[in-house]
Structure 1
């Protein structure tokens, strides 16, 4: 029944209207909820609803990767990724402090046991291994790198990596296998292990070079693949040769003793900071390094000389006359620092991370030799270092191995001297003679020589994969093969920084049964997956 706007509803309709009208003047359930005044069973339901509203919603669970079974798997996977990326033991999930930390973040999260993590490790390893096998199946040429290292007096290990150029011209690098040598580091045993790894990954026919860190026992071994030393390792070999001089090694040892004194005596270190503050010196942390790598040795000596005036005041006060450097000692340290600076310049020109093509080595060696030659005019330590470099690397102006590789790099091809250029062109023509006539080869190589060089920031592999292939067809495959050889056996961030020492220390503490899988995932598990 309907009335005019001013009329009122009659009968049961009017009662319904009055009830509705009355209720509209009462606080609504929403108002009660706001005021916390819902009564009876409804209030219990409200309190339950209110309590649940404080818990993460389904959407929140999805965002956190904890929605049901798939969410739990995602969380475990992320935890495993943290473990392998930082080389932590799987037992970390059973550590009380770690468990307390996780519970504080998420009280309801069920922390996986070591056995669960072990199962997850195997699952992800199998997944990544299968993915890598498919990538290697499509690769044309593969270069291996191998590093020999020890986890203590008990055992030594061989870690083998692989490198190839993908279809886009990117250099791809992965770890293949870490295997125990059971204290047998002979050339024959290492060769056997390398061959077994190639067979297991079905890449033996594609491997043409193996870049090794150390392992001089492999230098003259005959195999179907060539052996080549790691560039970073070769620089350390040169430094070791320099330190074979007793006078130089003694002054470096004394420098280590000085730093060690302040590291172990907290009162002496406190006094040093007080003096540094008074002299307005930078209070940089002292560096103690007792290994045989040139870069951390350089850092230690430089920091020592920067802080030595303040140190000497502490020695005078404490009566530590045996630690005071005489003028001859200081002069030797300054000469070592100046002699090592050209090596730092070379290192700074390399990429900061990952691996770099061997094509950059010859230009870097030329810079190194020229800088040492100039420094040697007034520095006998630099003169000795120059001689050691010539012995290790040979004549940079007549290098039949590196010259063809540098020639095939469109960034550096015009930087070759006459002798290197002649050797490079002859070698390339010989290698391609089965595919082209002599006339065709001469025309092809001359056209490439005349082509404008690329910028040093460009990617020569991508250039050969696309532009170079289109313009200089038959040179492309050779260019990709030779430029795909890497210059170091380990990533540059480990080869030229203290991060390498930390990595090696952590690596040595991994359980033997998990060593291969954890190092495999540490290298190969992309940050995007």
Structure 2
């Protein structure tokens, strides 16, 4: 056989070196690309349509462009210089980041990039952009998670004190999850909320198991010695978990109000019967298209805005309030619609509507209180005592006293008893009464009992004096000479017995001065006028940071406590959107990362 013939092509992409009758031998060199794309420094062309990463040895497909290589290297190996390697690459980087944002913010699945409609949209908007695979998109999300977690940890590490909320959730796959959120006041005196974790919890829901997981989270985030309070629902295992962790524990006030009002509604037989009838009526209009259309026609004919009936939800008392409020508002069109329909349902009587109207007057302030105490981005823990006090006062107003129906009168008496009991409990909890006293909107005026306000003032003065004493001790020890810290300091200046009385007198004078200084600072704060209720207490403390330095430290510690565990419930609401029927195979680890990014970015 003749020796192989040699042919050389002038193509910048292919240099054909040699062939014989049975095979091709290729040596492909991207000569043109090498001049413009530094990404080739990290990849090797191993076949006409394959390249190998020189860092991790992963083989990628190659189609005469470097988009896949660029994306792989940026996501997995993070070289900043590859973010600007090609004309138009900055646009590609932005699109990749926006795609990750879309998955996180809109709860989109990774398979989004495989959808034909989405591909058509992207081709029309950015023809040159090569969509990543779902695996690459997941890697991009995981990289974002690591970056965001590191940044968030750095922010949390600067907090001097924080409070936690915690709750449990069961997914559609019957998997249990434990969520923990952290709330603190940062260096700019702004309230911050962070999700520490939403972790899969396959173990038994015992206090010991929950305490172990929370201890691990606090250790990971470096806040083990900074937590001032744990807020949970009223479940027994949650309370036992707080005792296991030796933490101050408060029960979510939203849950407390929920239980209180539900008991008030259930203890009246006639009202229980009315609610049952309302649920049947609402269910009928929601399940029958004919009835729904009939109700709409009646509202239009009567010149009323078209509204839908609302159904009661067992776990939320204010859904009962909203159901009764809506059915009372639509009493005339509902009655007219039922009269023209073939149904066994009996419309509510005039007397029953009168009972509903009276109950709505009683419960309206409780609805407003539940909404206000569920705020996450505002100081709320300090509102608990004043708000419950205002609820108690609302039940003593003339309008409520004039209610005539026995059902409403019985409800008012029950709620008054329960509120007095809860207020006595809360006004005895240091985390609550100190937060109220340190809120410049409320101070001593926010307390239900003047005697409890006086006790809170004494406790605040003691806490203030303790901080001043620690500060003075640390300052004196730092200024003392090395010889003064020796094992026998007194003997070097004349013997301990000789100077014992003098040293004791100096210590007593120092203690007296610290207490006096603390009293002066507390009285200066309490003597100033309360700021308007609609103003921010944190802005006040930012302005008083140097005027009332010790009280500022206490305010940062106590005003970060939320009134409820609603922040955790909002996390689980988002978890329910993400872990749906279409995404029921999402792993717990991936779910945690997406939720972390959704809530913390």
Q: Render the CA deviation track for 1:128-152: whole Å, top value 9, x for unaligned.
A: 0000111122211121111222214
393 and 449 in structure 1: CA distance in 2 versus 1, 3 angstrom threshold: closer
Matched, 1:283 2:309: no
Q: Render the CA deviation track for 1:478-499: whole Å, top value 9, x for unaligned.
A: 121111212222349x77xxxx
334 and 172 in structure 1: CA distance in 2 versus 1, 3 angstrom threshold: same
What displacement does 1:352 show? Answer: 5.9
- SS of aligned partner of 1:463: helix
Match of 1:418 in 2: 450
State the alpha-carbon separation in 1 of the partners of residues 110 and 376 from structure 2: 27
What displacement does 1:202 show? Answer: 1.8
TM-score, with normalisation over the residues of structure 1? 0.78
Match of 2:288 in 1: 265
The number of residue pairs the alignment matches comes to 454
216 and 339 in structure 1: CA distance in 2 versus 1, 3 angstrom threshold: farther
5+ residue gaps, structure 1: 1-65
Match of 1:427 in 2: 459
State the alpha-carbon separation in 2 of the partners of residues 376 and 400 from structure 1: 33
Contact 2:379 2:559 in 1 (8 A): no
State the alpha-carbon separation in 2 of the partners of residues 389 and 398 from structure 1: 14
Contact 1:155 1:182 in 2 (8 A): yes
Matched, 1:405 2:428: no
Match of 1:234 in 2: 256
State the alpha-carbon separation in 2 of the partners of residues 317 and 67 from structure 1: 71
Match of 1:48 in 2: none
Q: Render the CA deviation track for 1:483-517: whole Å, top value 9, x for unaligned.
A: 1212222349x77xxxx996464154362342111
Contact 2:443 2:530 in 1 (8 A): yes
Match of 1:253 in 2: 276
State the alpha-carbon separation in 2 of the partners of residues 404 and 166 from structure 1: 19
What displacement does 1:254 show? Answer: 2.6
Match of 1:209 in 2: 229
Match of 2:505 in 1: none
Aligned-residue Cα RMSD (Å) equals 2.9
Match of 1:178 in 2: 198
How does 1:32-71 map onto structure 2 within 5 Å? 68-71=88-91
Match among 507, 515, 532 for residue 438 of structure 1:
515
How does 1:309-348 map onto structure 2 within 5 Å? 309-347=332-370
Match of 1:456 in 2: 533
What displacement does 1:176 show? Answer: 0.9
What displacement does 1:256 show? Answer: 2.2
- SS of aligned partner of 2:395: helix
Matched, 1:506 2:577: yes
Contact 2:431 2:558 in 1 (8 A): no
Moved more, 337-346 or 386-395: 386-395
Match of 1:164 in 2: 184
Moved more, 452-461 or 131-140: 452-461
State the alpha-carbon separation in 1 of the partners of residues 236 and 87 from structure 2: 54
State the alpha-carbon separation in 2 of the partners of residues 476 and 363 from structure 1: 21
Match among 536, 548, 558 for residue 482 of structure 1:
558
State the alpha-carbon separation in 1 of the partners of residues 518 and 109 from structure 2: 57
- SS of aligned partner of 2:340: helix
Moved more, 275-284 or 307-316: 307-316
What displacement does 1:255 show? Answer: 1.6
